[in-house]
């Protein structure tokens, strides 16, 4: 990151009064500004949690073998940045044959007790410049670096729940789905439009973009959706532990801020985060039969054929 000063825009939210914003040049102040900025998007409100007919649990327990652990360790990308524990992927990979039995016991204890170690729930956030003026914190996005060992367990869980969720996530979701992309998303919409135009009609379309969608997911509501999707037992407890009591700090200009609680959202930079997000927004695709919806993660198109002025 450039050593340009960062701005605490949260203290001065009036966009028309940019010149009055305080400027920080001290690395510690810059780190604190970014910490406050990135935490501002979280939502801590107690949203009502709906309890529809609950699906009988299908996935309740997982148990990893030493062979699976060693395979996952050997597949690590040694170029990946370390998380807050500062244990590099190269160390885990090169010592895989030695540490596998201990790591396997640790993973299984976590799964059997439905608990994620607190040290694995601390994210190191690095600001990355996007565009426009480098002096303003809103022009940076956050990159979350998680402990690599925790992502190894996430990878194992993802491999074991992927098929289960593939039958739950609607076909009209094109984000983070194998064999789908933004191109297939556009092709679905274009096919619908062409069909309607060939019949002499027209198509009206509304585009929705949810701001900071990944960061604003309500944990209780997501846990309920996991239960409704057939996740239960210790595995559901594990997911609940995985989502809650997380913390993050910001590292910038060689300085690390104090940590703040993460009270909403799915962990960015994680393995499980995208799948959990798709489950959370899956209801949006339950559109009325008179219209269609297509999504790429949180980017949503809702469109409908218009036959008359009354439509």
Tell me the pLDDT tens digit for each residue of 30-54: 888 788 888 877 876 665 555 555 5
Strands 122-129 and 246-252, by their bridges, are parallel
Average pLDDT across the chain, whole number: 85
pLDDT value of residue 151:
97
> Across residues 179-195, what is the average pLDDT?
90
Which H or E element spans position 259?
none
pLDDT value of residue 76:
98
Running DSSP on this structure, what letter comes out for residue 266?
P
pLDDT value of residue 234:
97
pLDDT value of residue 8:
40
pLDDT value of residue 53:
52
What share of the chain has pLDDT > 70, as a percent? 86
> Across residues 163-173, what is the average pLDDT?
87
C-beta atoms surrounding 64 within 10 Å: 21
pLDDT value of residue 3:
37
Running DSSP on this structure, what letter comes out for residue 10?
G
Q: Which of 119-123, 162-166, 272-276, 290-294 comes out lowest in average pLDDT?
A: 290-294
Distance between CA 118 and CA 121 in Å, rounded?
5
What share of the chain has pLDDT > 90, as a percent? 48
Which H or E element spans position 117?
none
Question: Is pLDDT above 60 for 171?
Answer: yes
> Across residues 300-309, what is the average pLDDT?
82
Q: What is the tally of helices (H) and strands (E) in the chain?
A: 9, 10
pLDDT value of residue 178:
87
Q: In what order do the strands lie in the sheet with 299-306?
A: 202-209, 299-306, 292-296
What are the respective helix, strand and coil percentages of the chain, to the nearest 5?
45, 15, 40
Render pLDDT for 6-21 as a digit per residue (tens, 0 to 9).
444 334 444 434 444 5
> Across residues 262-275, what is the average pLDDT?
92
pLDDT value of residue 226:
96
Band the pLDDT of 2: cuts 50, 70, 90: very low
pTM over 0.85: no
Question: Is pLDDT above 90 for 138?
Answer: no
Say if residues 264 and 217 touch (Cβ distance below 8 Å).
yes
């Amino acid at each position: 990151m450039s050593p340009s000063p960062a701005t605490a825009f949260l203290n001065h939210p009036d966009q028309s009064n940019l010149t009055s914003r305080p400027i920080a040049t001290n690395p510690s102040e810059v780190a604190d500004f970014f910490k406050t900025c990135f935490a501002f998007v979280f939502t801590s409100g107690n949203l009502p949690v709906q309890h529809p007919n609950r699906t009988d649990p299908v996935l309740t327990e997982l148990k990893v073998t030493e062979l699976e652990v060693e395979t996952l360790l050997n597949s690590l990308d040694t170029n990946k940045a370390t998380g807050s524990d500062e244990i590099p992927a190269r160390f885990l990979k090169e010592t895989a044959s030695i540490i596998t039995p201990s790591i396997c016991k640790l993973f299984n204890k976590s799964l059997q007790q439905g608990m994620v170690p607190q040290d694995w729930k601390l994210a190191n956030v690095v600001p990355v410049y996007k565009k426009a003026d480098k002096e303003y914190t809103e022009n940076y996005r956050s990159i979350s670096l998680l402990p690599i060992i925790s992502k190894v367990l996430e990878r194992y869980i993802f491999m074991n729940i992927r098929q289960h969720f593939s039958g739950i996530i609607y076909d009209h979701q094109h984000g983070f789905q194998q064999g789908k992309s933004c191109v297939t998303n556009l092709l679905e919409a274009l096919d619908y439009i062409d069909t309607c135009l060939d019949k002499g009609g027209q198509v009206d379309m509304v585009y929705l973009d949810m701001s900071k969608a990944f960061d604003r997911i309500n944990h209780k509501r997501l846990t309920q959706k996991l239960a409704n999707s057939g996740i239960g037992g210790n595995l559901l407890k594990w997911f609940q532990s995985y989502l809650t009591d997380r913390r993050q700090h910001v590292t910038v200009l060689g300085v690390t801020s104090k940590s703040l609680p993460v009270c909403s959202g799915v962990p960015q930079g994680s393995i499980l985060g995208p799948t959990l997000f798709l489950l959370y927004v899956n209801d949006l695709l339950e559109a009325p039969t008179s219209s269609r919806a297509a999504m790429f993660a949180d980017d949503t198109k809702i469109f409908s054929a218009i036959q008359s002025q009354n439509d």
